[in-house]
Chains A and B, each alone.
Chain A
Amino acid sequence: MNDGKFDLVVIGAGPAGMAAAVEARKAGVSVLLLDEQDALGGQIYRAVERATSGMLDTLGPEYRRGGELAKAFASSGTTHGKRSTVIDISRDGWVGFEHEDNVSYVKAGCIILATGAVERPFPIPGWTLPGVMTVGAAQTMLKASAAVPSSRTVLAGTGPLLYLFAAQVLRTGRSIGAIVDIGSKLPGLPAMRHLPAALSAPGYLMKGLGLLSAIRKGAIPHYWNARDLCIEGVDHADGISFTSGGRQHKIDTDLVLLHHGVIPNIQITQALRCDHRWDALQMCWVPELDAWGKTSTERVFMAGDGAGIGGAVAAEYRGRIAALGTLAALGKLSHEDISRKADPLRRNLRKELAIRPFLDAFYQPSKLPRGTKDQSTIICRCEEITVAQIGKAVDLGCAGPNQLKAFLRAGMGPCQGRMCGLNVSQAIGHMRGVPISEVGSYRLRPPFKPVSLDALSKMSVPDLPK
């Protein structure tokens, strides 16, 4: 493959990755895009290339944009490394990935991480039971396989994705059992402050109101300000209990879909020891980036939701801006050239991000994940570590997540802290009474995902001239 050398390696085939590749290819550089999935689209545009008109109608008009982007990518001359899981990135630009149980390395002039977002893990009692998934998971199943959840399904949590999915299910002619909303019906003062800026955003507010209106029309029971959520069941979820409106509720169901916002996927930037900062509004770690999306690690850029939650259209602009940044770093374009090209992109990006302060304030999670009030709640799913166990470790002097690994193995399971990292740090911060920025996060290392010894033994590294 290109003798193992590429000017640019892009990781992730969502909107940021595809847009970055297309932009870079305009300058004629060699581009390899690596992605774990079989098809283009990342999460938000999952299966977009084969979507029927019925599917496009169900998912909504924004989804179509992904199809256009995929077409542009397909004719851009980018090498598409599908079903390739990136496991390593080294200081001088070597990118290692596993594909069909073989590990290969390529040399990259620059790297753009476009690994998107993950759902904020939302630990509540019973969340590890079969029959509990994320809203994003169900949406992926809808996009890729036209799977629709049963009419008894309960959506629990809060955030725009929850309402979008409910509206999409309604568009298929079906309904869901209930929405158990931990948010409030009306924005409070902190969010209202940002309303003027939000009103300059192209139609996002109207879209949101439209979704809520569709849900009301669909007569889906909607419980507000829900607290003390608890998923009932022994071997499988069979219901969800909660308080709302001053009363205890219990809804029988065999499928609970959780959602509490999305956060940047920083698994790779953390493993690379890039600088991060704690975003107190979005309540998540965000990589420190310059105006081109460059991280604190030489030649490594971040684009899309990984740079900060902004949505699919913002991701395209960030992808293109990062691509321009790499073109200058590679010496293909001058700084003046890329600044000129980036100006309209930055203007559009600003417009897309105008809604964010309002959304972030309206849907701001609580400082401590609500489910962690219950001592029995599992925080580390892989190793089944509960809030109570973390509390005991902190009492014994455990000061941070990396020490916790030694105490309890928290974070040492196959997910490598993806599901528990944020909550562990928040819990320790709360228990010790210190800010999370002081507590820190898991120290991560390659391989970024588990890889078999067999695959490693077949590793191929190209012989490049020094």
Chain B
Amino acid sequence: MFTRDNNLLTPADTVTFDFDGQRIDARPGDSVATALLLAGVTVTRTTHVSGASRAPYCMMGACFECLMTIDGQPDRQACLVMTRNGMKVEQQFMPVGSDHE
């Protein structure tokens, strides 16, 4: 969906973090959500109502679709968290079960 145009950035060291056991390379200044999208990861969490997959939508902290568990803490907005070496990022699977009828 997205590729990085390195011509538009100054050279910088790679930032490496763990996503569900997978190693992801990022750059300083990337949010976790952006780094994941650039790495081809398209799902951040599932919903608690139907278990539907969700992905970042607004990238500015308003939509809350990018809620992920980061360094053990759940419900963090991945678009507002900057990538850091050694960070541990996990998808959030919400327990399903809600009846509106």
Contact = CB atoms under 8 A, between A and B. Distances in A.
Given A145-B29, A150-B3, A172-B5, A133 B59 contact: yes
Nearest to A385: B100
Nearest to A153: B1
Contacts of B59: 133-134, 136-138, 140-141
Interface string B1-25: 1111111111000000000000000
A130 interface: yes
Interface residues of A, number: 57
A130 B55 contact: yes
Contacts of B87: none
Interface string A51-71: 010110010000000000000
Interface stretch (A188-196, A299-307, A315-323, A410-418): A410-418
Contacts of B6: 146
A113 to B, nearest CB: 15
A55 B52 contact: no
B81 to A, nearest CB: 9
Nearest to A149: B2
A140 B38 CA distance: 13
Nearest to A140: B59
A379 B29 CA distance: 33
Given A38-B82, A384-B52, A132 B100 contact: no
B69 interface: no
Given A146-B6, A150-B2, A36 B58 contact: no
A409 interface: yes
A382 B64 contact: yes
A381 interface: yes
B30 interface: yes
Given A58-B8, A133-B56, A389-B100, A141 B37 contact: yes
Nearest to B61: A36
A55 B53 contact: no
A54 B4 CA distance: 14
A55 B7 CA distance: 9
Nearest to A255: B1
A145 B10 CA distance: 11
Interface of B: 1-10, 27, 29-31, 34-35, 37-38, 42-43, 47, 49-50, 52-65, 67, 73, 75, 80, 82, 98, 100
20 contacts: A36-B61, A47-B29, A54-B8, A129-B53, A134-B58, A137-B58, A145-B9, A145-B29, A146-B8, A146-B9, A147-B37, A149-B2, A150-B2, A255-B2, A383-B100, A413-B64, A418-B64, A450-B75, A452-B73, A452-B75
- Top 9 closest pairs, chain A to chain B, by CB: A130-B55, A137-B59, A146-B8, A414-B64, A384-B49, A147-B2, A255-B1, A415-B64, A130-B42
